[in-house]
Structure 1
């Protein structure tokens, strides 16, 4: 192992270029109709630390009303984005109108004084190739939208009015409150929500965390009467939605000057003068709510232990990331670690450290563990070992070199940061502005200024039994209380004083703290580009049954790489029993390798092993230094790794339990899974896998494993900072350890014809999939006639065209359910369009009838609607299909999705764009109509609650 005594400084500070890009700005008109000239009079702050890989320019200005705004100039962006975060969330809800902040978020989309139509905002964004969303949290809410750059000013005219001109139309209040109720019912069986609400019910009722955040009909209305709701909305909005409590991000290809003028013009009118942000004063927990055990009964079979230590706020500690450092030490999974000891004793399957809720005056530091059957019987022993490990860290773990290793890892991540899409960056920056200094709005997530010994010791002192909340989740636990909102049974009781006393003085821990990480080192520049420079992966037939696709990326010049190793394995796909064994094998391999590979993981090298309908795939991602060696080592372990009886038995049981619980999942998820099984040969339903795995003995599994790689074909894709010399050891390992056979992938059967499934009755036209969920769901499928460019393009176009109309009619107007939409799904290049609704108010037959009526009406009006919208959608899709990759990860995913199937075509997206360019709107109108009327390639699948 490499001993690290000193750390080489890495320069990660990069100041932006202050010189604004000159750009002509048209005359702007204020909301009152008066026209004005651009001012550019505000003082900008531009000393914003950014990654060397970040090509954008940044500045921060504060408007006269107190609204702070970050401007982001991205010359490469084709769209512009706005994001606004307000310091108001469900903590600000009135006690007699819980969920009001969330309901307000919904209502802001449904009309402003200038644009009163409920769908006007969504229609505009759709017509100009954009998207929008929002969320409401505990103390903040976030709104964001993107659109073609040429339409940014009209978008801002609409978006900005959310925050000073909402109509709160009474008719839409009465309708949208049903949408809130649908959302609530949709999540009623969600295990995380159920646990979260029990958490609230067992916290200090005087703290705003205890409020019900989502809201429903019962909390927002008086027995369904919405007459007071509008008044509550107006009062909440007038109090909290003030400019001085807001942050704004405007990002796009426009110059900083133009973006500043947009900010002044469209957002200065928002009233200021709101109450200043203040930290909550009430404690999150009462003394009686600490030193306790909380038993929770889940709906699904689960064995989980969450040890939460109640700590003070950590926002002020962001420059030091003390809790992140402690989480690294406690969550370490290398040899001798807390995880390794508990795992080898067959007490836990997984451990994560450092999560938990946090806010302006609280932080829960969680250790979240998935238990084995034995672990469920020894939760006291596990807890004692955790508290002992905390003490061990307090006494021996707070060493500068350990913190400096984390600094290196974080510095590497920042220095070679993969650029995010500007549309994804903007909402993140809007929230960061509430927590970090202007200089740190980007770097704040990475800043590690030094080991804060005082803070670390303070936190570790409080991570003891007296500050502990021990949550145990299992179906057979004793419970005596009932949480009424989500219907969860639970029990909160004090841990016996003698147990707490014993835990306060645990025996000395035997865990090993992380040793110096030999994988971790400051990274060098990428390899020189090989000649000739390639733009697409190049195929090498290395040997029969062994293909290498290699691309040394010419654009993303960072020491990073992605390596995919796809095995085509008949032994995996032959039957449900074989596929179940493959799932089990992948889980066992990950379980076995996690400890050995954890230092690589910490250093930024990640691996995943998963089955698919070809066989099994290994994916390595992260820094190129060591990636090939890790991949070669894992391939060797594929054929040389055995599994203990205890781990085999526990994971065998865990998989069966997970698959048997699938019927409690959201009906839409089950329908998508069912469709995949119906359309793709050699895919199997989870219920069938559970039955098959139940019959698999250890001896049968070992026999299957011995034959797993007897017939195999291997396709490798190496991309990033890699060249032929560097991937050599991987090819050598593949040839050395596997007997490979050519032609296996080409022999895989093609996608099933939808018409055959309909004719045979396998696509459930009359019956429905029975679930253990209270909602009904309907999925309507249109299958393309073939894999041609024309079929793919027309169904992609139809999806983009029909999506907002489907949502506006069935979700917004008819309020059928919270989940309404459509998606384009190619399977082995065969295009499919899926339209879906999940409803808590209507049964599947009613929803299906409404969908049929919508499709009939839409088909009849297609020509008229297409004249108004289709040309714009064609233009948007052409741009999207030609949109350059933002970072190496996205490019690797795109190229791998092209290489993984038997048919490889790198120019497919360009050919689709050309098809859109070369055909008229009238041609596509005819094509879309043909698809809507092609009943032989259409079908419904439905799901609903199982009758007891």
Structure 2
């Protein structure tokens, strides 16, 4: 399947009623992608009914003239091989869907009907308000949402950004359902008109047919007028030069330095903000981050993010501070201004800009993981700002050096445009924000401090990056060797196995190298895993500045832990990748943190684990599910004690033991010749001389059939949540196929019954959940208003009813079958995706590298009678193991039999049988 979209040849249409559309013909694609941008974001909410635009977006899914039932549009799009979704932002709302390439003639009229002719039924309206309130409650314990609300309260109150964008039952209850319905109809009539909407479509349908379909679906829409966007300034002088102190829920010490800018992100020719963020965000030696780390002031830095609109932009530099950094926060800000001065002084050195442009060009030419839906959505909105000629070159423009544009952009990086957010439990606060009750305080930054930032100190340790040594000139392709089309072992000893495959599909100068260590002394106890996590954190920190230049030149690496040990993964351009992998592997083998690094990363691990315990209930439950099912996966709550108590010498001893008996498995896939692979295989062997280990088991718990196990996860959240997990008896093709099919059959009805109709919660869903390729499925709900017992009863009632009435699904079975076959037969979209699939196949010993193809064949031969039999066995509890995980929130626990309760994770793991 090829979903690449060539925007250079896009066809632009303006209908007689004023609607603009951008049509991209993708003749080889198997899917169509559609996005409609409407200038109807929350900025257009009436002052006395904030959240109305969001409610309107929800109501468009609740039935239209030709598809009157709630969520009928979702089911209709799913039946045509796709999915539909929407969001409401600041200035714009967006509605987008995908479908099978040949289904657009059926789906686009339904999409147009949804946008043009919503019903606004009062029953559905009342239910959707409940859902929006559940969504609001769900986000109340979200630090980002709380930060966003404080941002709104500290900007110009006359600017529409200050409005409460989400809405909840309190804001909507000020109006009776009849009034709300009229408000919705009025807002829809005003904003959902041809001149206020922009459409982007990428489809294999020929352009002439696509244009005719467009006229058919939208040609008779009311013309209307383009909504006004003449807002006041986002910040007045009173909202600049201020410090905002914020208490977070999670353990965090962050500082966000914000520069208030005009909409410079829309300068696509020079892209000045990309250049500035590229330099400020540098992590190499001599960088701002390296300097702050050396002083033990900061651990991380992100430059360039921040809210933006058609007429404004916040440029954020976000620091993750240490305690010492918090105490020296103004020194951190001064160092930032010192570095910005370096950028100003070097503006004549255009080679640095040209290098950034070359990096942009390489990224564009060899782009992977392109998400067509995201791009089509961007282009729908871009049509409000750019001409057709500009749109056709927008994505391909890599940036051209423009000294004046760069100087103009940098002129806004001044103390006068500064806002400072300090986020810590240690700061003083004076008030609580509306809706989310987050504590904060606002104070003026001392004028003397602001004045001093105009002449920041010259810091010798700060230097702009030198020419990138990893940036290659030309990237050539190797000659194919037929015997290496699929993974082949070059070395296979008891303690070392090396696989190699050439890329003969994507013809890209890229590749992936995986080197995995199974180390029993890094995985056989909580203390061993604690030592591994601290060591990995320190190792990655040690490598960050040394290899950052490689990272931005398209040579990426990750070193991460897994249940049996850890893995080094490099990817990107093959030129110099083996050298990078060798250097990284040498560091892996020899690096031992000093006591200062140990203490630092031990504290970070403790903070990270504490924060993990504050995750949303459904996230916590799925995390705990993995812990209970996978033998060597540990829970944060158990790891905390081990990490808090481990000493430096114990960490060193565990690390030493891990590297005296390990098994290495490696896979090299991409643009390499076999001679290069053989040479690299020997390099790994020489760098890892002390193997002697064996591959470790990835066994999964074997849940008992016929009874349900219960496990409560303590969670600091008012919402209750449950996950009902059904584990298939084996990982056979038949059990896997049946699990996949039944989950897909029940997904939409489960959502409609428990969320739309019964309104049990905002987070409601199902999922196919394999562990180490062992199949299973999960049903989950998170609720602010129902006890876990009620959620579980509703889930089991739904399941028993549906499983006993499975005959009802016979009509839908062919569509579900075709959708699943299509998903399983999808070709690898990128070289990296193929590398990952082959690597996973090696890990599960699928040496035919075709499990998905076999699964597709099994789904093709599956009869509805087999599905009925599976459903009947599930209903009688004769087929699958059952586990209920729950968090009680502010409610009572689920009453259950003592013998069915998992109280101790370690006891459960010692007593349970394994597959």
* The two structures share one fold, judged by TM-score above 0.5: yes
Partners of 2:26 and 2:3 in 1: how far apart?
A: 14
Pair 1:876-2:819 in alignment: yes
CA offsets per residue over residues 684-743 of structure 1, 9 Å max, x none?
Answer: 100111111000111211222222221111111222222323334532332122136477
* 1:415 alignment counterpart: 365
- Structure 1 residue matching 2:469: 3-state secondary structure: coil
Per the alignment, residue 748 of structure 1 pairs with 697
Equivalent residue, structure 2, for 1:173: 125
The one-character-per-residue Cα deviations of 1:361-392 (angstroms, maximum 9, x if unpaired) are: 22111111111121111101111111111122
Q: Distance in 1 between the 2:173 and 2:138 partners?
A: 19
Do the aligned partners of 1:75 and 1:252 also contact (CA within 8 Å) in 2?
Answer: yes
Matched-pair contact (CA < 8 Å) for 1:820–1:838: yes
Partners of 1:282 and 1:299 in 2: CA distance: 33
Contact 2:33 2:203 in 1 (8 A): yes
SS at match of 2:551: helix
Shift of residue 257 of structure 1?
Answer: 2.2
SS in structure 1 of the partner of residue 591 of structure 2? coil
Alpha carbons of 1:131 and 1:382: their partners in 2 closer, same or farther (altered >3 Å)? same
* Aligned twin of 1:145: 97
Q: Which of 860, 869, 882 is 2:804 aligned to?
A: 860
**Is 1:612 matched with 2:555?**
no
Q: CA deviation at 1:839?
A: 0.7
C-alpha separation between the residues in 2 aligned to 1:84 and 1:342?
A: 44
Could you say if the C-alpha distance between residues 554 and 932 of structure 1 is closer, same or farther in structure 2, counting changes exceeding 3 Å?
Answer: farther
Partner of 2:238: 288
- Assess if the C-alpha contact under 8 Å between 1:710 and 1:739 holds in 2: no
Please list, as runs of the form range in 1=range in 2, the aligned pairs for 1:37-186 lying within 5 A after superposition: 58-186=10-138
Q: Deviations over 1:547-574 (max 9, x none)?
A: 2222222221111212221111112211
* 1:887-928 Cα distance to aligned partner (Å, 9 max, x none): 223222322222233554412111111112123222223223
Between stretches 317-326 and 51-60, larger displacement belongs to 51-60
Q: Distance in 2 between matches of 1:97 and 1:522?
A: 58
- Alpha-carbon offset, residue 459 of structure 1: 2.8
Determine the C-alpha separation between the residues in 1 that align with 2:396 and 2:704.
54
**Which of residues 511, 515, 524 in structure 2 aligns to 1:574?**
524
CA contact (8 A) 1:629 1:730 kept: no
Residues 424, 381 of structure 1: CA spacing in aligned structure 2 closer, same or farther, 3 A cutoff? closer
Change (3 A) 1:377 1:101: same
Residues 270 and 226 of structure 1: CA distance in aligned 2, closer, same or farther (over 3 Å) = same
Is 1:901 the counterpart of 2:844? The answer is: yes
The aligned length equals 889
Q: How many Å separate the matches in 2 of 1:234 and 1:896?
A: 54
| 2:210 is equivalent to residue 259 of structure 1 | yes
Q: Which runs of 5+ in 1 are unaligned?
A: 1-49
Alignment equivalent of 1:887, drawn from 820, 830, 833: 830
Q: Residue in 2 aligned with 1:563?
A: 513
C-alpha displacement at 1:439, in angstroms? 4.1
- Cα distance in 2, alignment partners of residues 644 and 355 from structure 1: 34
Q: 1:848 to 1:420 in 2, by over 3 A?
A: same
Corresponding position of 2:884: 940
2:713 alignment partner, one of 759, 763, 769: 769
Q: Please, which of 324, 328, 331 is the counterpart of residue 278 of structure 2?
A: 328
Structure 1 counterpart of 2:630: 680
Cα pair 2:42 2:91 within 8 Å, conserved: yes
Partner residue, 1:15: none
Distance in 1, matches of 2:742 and 2:281, equals 48
The residue that corresponds to 1:217 in the other structure is: 169
1:290, 1:467 within 8 Å by CA — same for their partners in 2?
A: yes
Within the candidate set 776, 781, 793, 2:737 is matched to: 793
Give the aligned CA root-mean-square deviation in angstroms.
2.3
Q: Are 1:621 and 1:627, in contact at CA under 8 Å, matched by a contact in 2?
A: yes
1:833: how far off?
0.3
C-alpha distance 904-568 of structure 1, shift in aligned 2 (>3 A): farther
Selected match of 1:725 from 668, 675, 682:
675
Following TM superposition, by how much is the alpha carbon of 1:803 offset from its aligned partner in structure 2, in angstroms? 0.2
Alpha-carbon separation, structure 1, partners of 2:651 and 2:882: 40
Distance 1:75 1:717, change over 3 A: farther
Task: Give distance in 1, aligned partners of 2:167 and 2:595.
Answer: 48
Offset of 1:315 from its aligned partner? 4.2
| Residue in 1 that maps onto 2:727 | 783
Given that 1:771 and 1:946 are in contact with CA atoms closer than 8 Å, whether structure 2 keeps it comes out as no
Q: 1:244 to 1:160 in 2, by over 3 A?
A: same
SS in 1 for 2:409: helix
* Counterpart contact for 1:51–1:415, Cα < 8 Å: no
Matched-pair contact (CA < 8 Å) for 1:295–1:477:
yes
Q: Which residue of 1 aligns with 2:902?
A: none
**2 CA distance for matches of 1:138 and 1:705?**
50
| Deviation readout 1:597-623 (Å, 9 max, x if unpaired) | 111111111111111112101111222
Matched, 1:463 2:463: no
- 2:500 aligned residue (541, 544, 550): 550
CA contact (8 A) 1:479 1:490 kept: yes
Conserved 8 A contact 1:296-1:489: yes
Contact 2:6 2:24 in 1 (8 A): no
Q: Deviations over 1:186-205 (max 9, x none)?
A: 11111111111111111110
Distance 2:369 2:635 in 1: 38
Report the counterpart of residue 771 of structure 2 in structure 1.
827
Distance 2:683 2:717 in 1: 48
1:509: how far off? 3.2
Change in 2 beyond 3 A, CA 1:515/1:467: same
Whole-Å separation in 2 of the counterparts to 1:578 and 1:533: 38
Instruction: State whether residues 776 and 842 of structure 1, in contact with CA within 8 Å, keep that contact through their aligned partners in structure 2.
Output: yes
Q: Take 1:105 and 1:706, find their aligned partners in 2: how far apart are those partners?
A: 58
In 2, the alpha carbon distance for the partners of 1:932 and 1:56 equals 55
Taking the aligned partners of 2:302 and 2:283, their CA distance within structure 1 comes to 9
Are the structure 2 counterparts of residues 146 and 504 from structure 1 closer, same or farther at C-alpha, using a change threshold of 3 Å?
same
SS at match of 2:478: coil
Q: Deviations along 1:2-30, whole A, 9 cap, x unmatched?
A: xxxxxxxxxxxxxxxxxxxxxxxxxxxxx
Q: Is the 8 A contact 1:91 1:139 kept in 2?
A: yes
Is 315-324 or 423-432 further displaced after alignment? 423-432
C-alpha deviation, 1:931, in angstroms? 3.3
Distance 1:479 1:55, change over 3 A: closer
Q: Secondary structure at the match of 2:613?
A: helix
State the Cα distance separating 1:483 from its structure 2 match. 0.3
Distance 1:60 1:728, change over 3 A: farther
Give the CA deviation at 1:640: 2.1
Task: Between 85-94 and 797-806, report the one with greater CA deviation.
Answer: 85-94
Structure 1 residues 35-70: Cα deviation after superposition (integer angstroms, max 9, x where no partner):
xxxxxxxxxxxxxxx999969964222222222222
**Structure 1 residues 277, 525: CA separation in 2 closer, same or farther (over 3 Å shift)?**
farther
Q: Which structure 2 residues correspond to residues 355-366 of structure 1 after superposition, within 5 A? A: 355-366=305-316
Bigger mean CA deviation after superposition, 104-113 or 502-511: 502-511
Matched residue SS, 1:539: strand
Paired residues of 2:19 and 2:195 also in contact (CA < 8 A) = yes
Q: How do 1:445-484 residues align onto structure 2 when only pairs under 5 Å count?
A: 445-484=395-434
* Aligned-partner Cα distance in 2 for 1:114–1:802: 25
Aligned to 1:206: 158
| Partners of 1:464 and 1:613 in 2: CA distance | 48
Structure 1's 924 and 116: CA in aligned 2 closer, same or farther, altered over 3 A? Answer: same
**What's the CA shift for 1:461?**
2.6
Q: 1:145: how far off?
A: 1.3
Equivalent residue number for residue 526 of structure 1: 477
C-alpha separation in 1, matches of 2:593 and 2:393: 43
Aligned partner of 1:228 in structure 2 is 179
1:491-640 map, 5 Å: 491-510=441-460, 511-532=462-483, 534=485, 536-640=486-590
SS of residue matched to 1:826: coil
Question: What TM-score do the two structures reach when normalised by structure 2?
Answer: 0.93
Contact 1:164 1:269 in 2 (8 A): no
d(CA) in 2 for partners of 1:900, 1:635: 20
What is the distance in 2 between the residues matched to 1:904 and 1:752?
A: 24
